[in-house]
Amino acid sequence: MPDLRSLSELPKAHLHVHLEGAMRPDTLDELCARYRIDRPVDTRGRRFTDFGGFNALYWAATHCLRTREDLARLVMEVAEDAAREGVRWIEPAFDAERYSTLRAEGPFRLFEDQTEGWRFVFEAAEAAERATGVGIGFMSAIDRTRALDSAMARARVTAALVRSGEHLIESGMPDFEGRHPALVAVGLHGNEQGHPPEPFDPAFRVALEGTGLLCTPHAGEIAPAPGGGPRSVAGALDALGADRILHGVLAVEEPALVARLARAGVCLDVCPSSNVLLSVVPSLREHPLPQLLEAGSPARSGATTRCSSARACSRSTRCADQRWSSATSISPGSPGAPSSTAPPPPRSRPGRSPTSRAGLERTAEWSRPFMEGLGFHGAARGGCPVSCRAVARGAVSNEPARAALVERVFGRPG
């Protein structure tokens, strides 16, 4: 059976990636040696017993960025790695506070404030796009483990950047000329344990109202409290108005919630290998991604971090392909999705649709022309029209299913 194309050649968008977490292991080694920082134990391929071990490695990568040149290098290398994987669009999560006010008492403060930090990474993204042709749209990452006034400060900075137009950069993508947003979403990151989404409602209102940014919080990865995984996902929908949910796999524990996600078209940005490494699931064999897809819930496969798992986008996708290659269902909302009593519609905000599906159609309108020029066709979902879900679910051994997926996603026969 001939392959339609290799995974690295298939155009993809990587929508669940943390900027510092995507640091190359070799770069982490080099920077640790340069600044005489103890390099954390190499955990690639190993499992963490809790979120703390993973978080320590992530912060080590952050502490290694001691100059603006280090940060610009990271942005460039993340784009270079994406290009090698056939990724055309990435949405890295970034937190400018880590390089400004949180370093106020130390010698390695890179920026006076968050706004200056964001301006710098926009310039770095513009340069990386010119060099690689990969489009970049950042996610403003609110740290759920910090005080709520920190979240509100982040929200105000984020909204101000969009309203001023400072988030627009010149495209370096070969098939799109002009300017595009380099800030496309607001996320909620960090350890979920003890930090549910509901208290961040006021900050998300400030960041989202009138800006057209997408709401993309982490939820349903590690329960805020025992048995609270589905509640965390529901809270992201009800309190924050999530357009996409990063992870969300614990929603599978409540079939009515999965059905709700399917009806609303709220996509789960799932990272199967990361879920195994963080002991969210015992193994890929027991990962709930097939159940979510079979229930009609849209889902994408991503790599989230590279320095801990050593999985780039196509490798993460290949991992999913090898585990679930017998799957043939490719359509969200497919027959057989469980039915349940419809819950109240998600809360609407001024300038935003009360349903995710309609809201995304409007907020992603700017992306259609250049993504179609890159070879993507179809309805927009998230910051760009096509995602790694195309290959996570479509690189299957059943040839008719593969051909149908290519035609569905790309708008032309495979």
Q: Round to the nearest angstrom and report the end-to-end CA distance of the chain.
A: 14
Per-residue pLDDT at 299 = 79
Per-residue pLDDT at 278 = 72
Do residues 378 and 410 make contact, with C-beta atoms less than 8 angstroms apart?
yes
CA atoms within 13 A on the CB side of 414: 20
Say what the pTM is: 0.76
Residues contacting residue 361 through CB under 8 Å, at least 6 positions apart: 379, 380
Per-residue pLDDT at 258 = 94
Kindly tell me the burial class for residue 412, based on how many C-beta atoms sit within 10 Å of its own C-beta (0-12, 13-18, 19 or more): exposed
Cα torsion for 34, 35, 37, 42, to the nearest 10°?
-30
Do residues 206 and 156 make contact, with C-beta atoms less than 8 angstroms apart?
yes
Specify the residue for token string 């920077």: 31
Instruction: Give the closest residue to 275 by CA, choosing from 250, 294, 244, 256.
Output: 250
Do residues 257 and 342 make contact, with C-beta atoms less than 8 angstroms apart?
no
Is 192 one of the annotated active-site residues of the chain?
no
- The SS3 call for residue 349 is coil
Do residues 358 and 348 make contact, with C-beta atoms less than 8 angstroms apart?
no
Per-residue pLDDT at 13 = 87
Residues contacting residue 98 through CB under 8 Å, at least 6 positions apart: 62
- 350 backbone dihedrals φ, ψ, rounded to 5°: -55, 130
| Span 12-410 CATH architecture | Alpha-Beta Barrel (3.20)
Out of 221, 286, 361, 407, the active site residue is 221
Per-residue pLDDT at 16 = 87
Residues contacting residue 120 through CB under 8 Å, at least 6 positions apart: 68, 71, 72, 110, 111
Question: Residue 410 corresponds to which tokens in the numbers above?
Answer: 């790309």
Mean pLDDT in consecutive groups of 10 residues from the start of the chain, 414 residues: 59 88 92 89 63 68 94 98 92 96 92 98 98 97 95 98 97 91 95 92 97 94 82 96 92 94 91 76 82 84 50 44 34 27 38 38 42 38 34 32 39 41
Distance of alpha carbon 228 from its chain centroid, rounded?
Answer: 22
The answer for 341, left when phi > 0, alpha when psi is -120 to 50, beta otherwise, is beta
What CA–CA distance (Å, rounded) separates 387 from 136? Answer: 14
Question: Residue 51 corresponds to which tokens in the numbers above?
Answer: 């979120």
SS3 content of the chain, % helix, strand, coil (to 5): 45, 15, 45
For residue 60, CA distances in Å to 37, 56, 102, 105, 298 come to 8, 6, 15, 18, 34
Residue count of the chain: 414
Residues contacting residue 147 through CB under 8 Å, at least 6 positions apart: none
CA R_g for the chain: 20
